[in-house]
Structures are given as structure tokens and as C-alpha cells.
Amino acid sequence: MVDRVNRRRLLQIVAGLPFANSLGSGLAVAASASARVRPGDPAWPSDESWDQLSRQVEGRLIKVQSPLAACVGASFDAACAQLFMELKNPFYLGDEVGLTQSLGWVGAWTSRPSVYAVAAQTTGDVVAAVNFARRHNLRLVVKGGGHSYQGSSNAADSLLIWTRQMNAIVSHDAFVGAGCEGRSEPQPAVSIGPGAIWGHVYNEVMTKAGRYVQGGGCMTVGVAGLILGGGFGSYSKAYGLAAASLIEAEVVTADGEVRIANACSNPDLFWALKGGGAGFGVVTRVTLRTHALPEYFGGVFAAIKATSDDAYRRLIAKTVEFYAQALFNSHWGEQILIGRGYVAISMAVQGLDQQQAEAVWRPFFDWVSAAPQDFAIVSAPKILAGPARARWDPSVLKRIPGVVIADDRPGAPADNIFWAGNLEEAGAVWYAYQSAWLPASLLEADRRQSLADALFAAAKPFGVSLHFNKGLAGAAAEAIAAAKDTAMNPAVTDAFALMITGALGQPAYPGVPGHEPDVAKARSEAEAVGQSMDEIRKLLPRVGSYVWETDYFQANWQDAFWGENYARLRMIKQKYDPDGLFFLHHGVGSEDWSADGFTRVEAH
């Protein structure tokens, strides 16, 4: 293979030739210009070049326009009103090439359509798009589920690789990775296209096949993106990171090559794909190990309000103590919200039946009930458990009032459902979002009161939520060991929870009369979110954060997201994408580029 220096020299030579734009798609050259081209630039691809790409992908090249464009600067008519109703349907958002699940983040980014998109159906389509973007020095974006809070799945003036239609789900009884024959034992697994969403995967793997696969809690999140960031589900303390279940990936790298990444082939790339973010190539297939189902999945739901500050301090302290003594194990996941004067419980449980779950929680609720002068139960405890195979069965979930919402578009598939609790996130505009992993040392008896005091102080400005399934301390030993073999920040294995606080507004877009983002409210609530998080940071010697659920403005993001793994990730990025074709905000190597990914800057 031609080395990098010679490839760059070759590019300099051919750049001035009249046939440069017709270079063969298999030629592995890399653009090293200091700035990517935009529409109107002399180097922007000609109509003939775009037509050639369209023929390569069998007509699956789309000229993109956001549906919101018709409402910008216009009167808010019936069509716009209908559109803003559709923006609350995550399936509509996911099926629209010009939209993303979030519409933006005030002061950070706004959802913008690409100029063109390749609606990829095959790996060959992805190869053609990658080669075209590299050859023409284009800003390239990849979108599967489109759920990025940081706006990573959209960019103006770009070419989009849209993998929504690459959504096949194939189960295996005994999978062995390519090149691993005789070196790895066959194991049950499932191969999934990058455009699939977790709700559909769970229905196929769990409801229909009777196996469990570790993925995300939100049913409309894309499969590939979650894996690349690490990935947590409701039962991470039992089954570990989603990325740790990765056996093999097919990925198109910046040179247009299709590579198999597993423990035996391209093991460095394989490691980077397990939590290193989305900047190493375009994943066209993931194969994940599947697990035996437990007998039961269930949940615990309640809300308790304190009648005074003193009572609230005691309620928080009791909650922390109860978690440390009864819930800090592989059975329990999901979250407890520490709000302004109240505690809201929304926990998930695996492996316990209803009587066992009730026995665990009885001491806590008895303690609350014994002091009616101090605590009001505003939502009576509900403790549920049922057959695990029904956990994501659409036909079962639809019969339970208020649990899921169905895609209401005509002809929508029956398994197009999403949790009612995720409704406010559809089409949201973010005002703030911050997170930090809480080390398990805070649960030690001599530190619990300090944690409780910090949570009490944090609840005053805005409120915080403890996501216990997004920290692996207390998890099964196997889950922790597997997580240590990923690119995730090692702090995750010592964290008992990810603390999250954030604020959002409902669908809004700049220039749409009467429906523009509320900038004043965004600034006010972002300040309150920061004040809440500051109270927790006082306890943390080192602040780690989860790359997919974090502050757009996260300081020291390299250390926060990846810790001591960042240096190794940087080297792998340089090996497989030396010219930064796969740029995303706060992705590995993004410090080499301007904030929009168009201009190379001096590394720092």
C-alpha cells in the first residue's frame, strides 16, 4: 500500500489534472486541504459528479430539504401546525432525512439539513459515499437514529450517509467472528444493521426469540450510535455496557475499505468502536452476544414529597442509605429523581418476582409511612414484576394505559411504539444538559451524609436524577471485567450512578413565527442546571461524564469522556482516519478542527 506521505503527494499531483474528479472509487487517497468545500466554492462537486454518485448508489441520492424550511419566515399556517404536531412523533423524525430527534441546543447548534444524502441500503452505498466525500473534500455526516444531543448527526453544507434503511436483524445460534475460528467459542448472537432502533431489536430478540440483548432504554435510539458511545440499558448492572457485548463490527473506514473488526481482525479498531465514539468509520453491521432471559423483569414507581426542609434532608439521606444497603447490586437499575422537595422513584428490576421486590422495598416505604407529618406520598408505590419475555412486547405494552405511545401515522408498523416518558424529548430544543459519574466511595457509611447534603443543595436550583444503571459499581463481576476491555472512561466501573440534570423546551425553530426557541428561558434554566451540578462537583476529585449524555460545552472533554484511554484512541484515529473525514463535536481528534468541522486548526 502507498504510505501516507506518498498518498498526499499523489493527491497534490492529481488535484490539478482535468480528470481529477473522475478518480476511481477504490483509490484510497485522502484529502489534506486545510478547509472543506461548501456549495458555491469552485471545488464543490459538479452536477455531473453528483449524478455519477447517484448512479453508483442506484438512485438513492437525495437532495435534502428540511420540512421546517417552509415555515421559516412564513405565516404559521395549517401545514406548519400539522408539522409541529408531527415533531412530537420520534418515528416521523427518524424517517425524515432532513430532521433530527432534537431540533437544537440554544447557544450551541440548530438542526440543519445536509445538501445531499445517500439513503444507504447496502455497504456498497456507504463505500461510494465515503469515497465521494473524501475525494471531493466534503464535510461528511452519518445519521442512524439521529438522537445526538450534541448535533453530531447533522451539519449544514454536508453530505449525509443516512443508514435508516439498513435495519436488518438476524439471530445466530452459534456465532464466531471472522478470523476467530478455532480461537473463540461459538455463542448466541444477533447481527443488526446500523439503522435499526432498539425497540424493534428487543421485539425480535426478546419477544420472538426469547433471548436478551443489551441495548438502550429508549426504544427509538439507533443501535450503532449507542454501541459506539458505550451504551447503557435498564439492566446494565446485570449485563454490562452495550459496547461490551460487541463481538464483531463491519465498518467502512476513511479510505473506503470495508473492514471486519473483532478480537482477531483489526483488534485496535474493534476496541475503539467499543465506546470510543463515532469518529472511526461508518459502521454497517454490529454483532452482539445475546443472553439468557431472567424469569422476571419489573419496576418500582412512587413519588414522595417532604413537608419541610428538615424532613427533605432526612428523606434524601434515607434514600441514599437505602440504595447503598438494599439496591446496590445487579438486580436494580434506572433512576431516582431528587427534585425540589420531593423524591420520585422510577426503578427497574431484573431477576426478582413481585413478592421479592416488595420485600426489598417494604422497609423504605414503612419508614416513610411512619411519619405522615413529614412526608406525603403523592404517587402511591407500584411494584410490578412479570415474565421477562413480555417486557418489550408491543401487544402487551399497548394494553397498559399510559405506558407507551404508538406511531399514529397511517400504515405505521405495529411495533412502532415508544415510552410515554420519552414524549417530551421528541423534537426538543435543549437548554442545558450535564452529567457526572458518582464514585462508589460516596456510598460508604462515613460519606453518605456528605452525598445527601450535596443532593439537597443540588435540588434547590433545578433538581438532579441518579441513573443507577449508568454506573457499573455494584454490577456483576463479568460485566465489570468486560467494561474494562472497552474504550469507555475507566471511571464508569467505579461509579454507582451517572447523575444527570438538564432542561429543554418543546419543538421550536429559529425564524418560525411564534415558535422560536425561548432564549431568555434557556439561559435562565441553563444557569440553574449549572448551579445544581456545581454542588455535586464539590464532592468529585475528577469529573467524568458520559459522551452521549453530557454538556455540549463540557470542559476537558477528552479526560471527562475517556480518561486515560484518550491517548490510545487518538493514535487509532490517526491510523484509520488521518485526515479527519469523520468529524463530530467533541469526538476523538476533533481538536484538530474548527467547531463546525470545516477548517483544520493547529492541534492543541
- Is the predicted pLDDT of residue 595 greater than 50, yes or no? yes
Mean pLDDT calculated for residue range 374-401: 96
For the chain, how big is the Rg over CA atoms in Å? 24
Q: What is the mean pLDDT of residues 318-341?
A: 98
Instruction: Report helix, strand or coil for 595.
Output: coil
What are the two backbone dihedrals, phi and then psi, of residue 183, each rounded to the nearest 5 degrees?
-115, -20
User: How confident is residue 602, by pLDDT bands cut at 50, 70 and 90?
Assistant: confident
**Which residue in 342, 338, 415, 412 sits closest to 376, CA to CA?**
342
pLDDT recorded at residue 34: 87
Helix ranges (H only) for 420-518 are 448-459, 477-483
Q: Is the pLDDT of residue 443 over 90?
A: yes
Q: What is the mean pLDDT of the chain?
A: 93
Confidence band for 9, pLDDT divided at 50, 70 and 90: very low
Under 8 Å between Cβ of 130 and 123: no
The mean per-residue pLDDT over the stretch 379-389 comes to 96
Residue 586: CB atoms within 10 Å: 21
Distance CA 391, CA 387 (A): 7
Q: Give residue 598's pLDDT band: very low, low, confident or very high (50, 70, 90).
A: very high
Question: What pLDDT, in 10s, does the model give residues 132-155?
Answer: 999 999 999 999 999 999 999 999
Residue 335 has pLDDT above 70, yes or no: yes
Q: Which domains does the chain possess? A: 169-292 (3.30.465.10), 295-391 (3.30.70.100)
pLDDT of 4 higher than 80: no
Mean pLDDT of 370-375: 98
From the CB of residue 232, how many other CB atoms can be counted at a distance below 10 Å?
Answer: 28
Between 17 and 412, residue with greater pLDDT: 412
Report the relative pairing of strands 116-119 and 158-162 from DSSP bridges.
parallel
CA nearest neighbour of 552 among 514, 579, 580, 590: 590
Mean pLDDT of 514-543: 96
pLDDT, mean of residues 447-459 = 98
Q: What is the largest CA-CA distance in the chain?
A: 84
| Model pLDDT, residue 27 | 32
Give the mean model confidence (pLDDT) for residues 86-97: 98
The answer on pLDDT for 274 being more than 70 is yes
Asked whether residue 11 carries a pLDDT value surpassing 90, the answer given is no
Q: For residues 311-341, b (16+ Cβ closer than 10 Å) or e, as one string?
A: bbbbbbbbbbbbbbeebbebbbbbbbbbeeb
Determine contact, residues 230/242, Cβ cutoff 8 Å.
yes
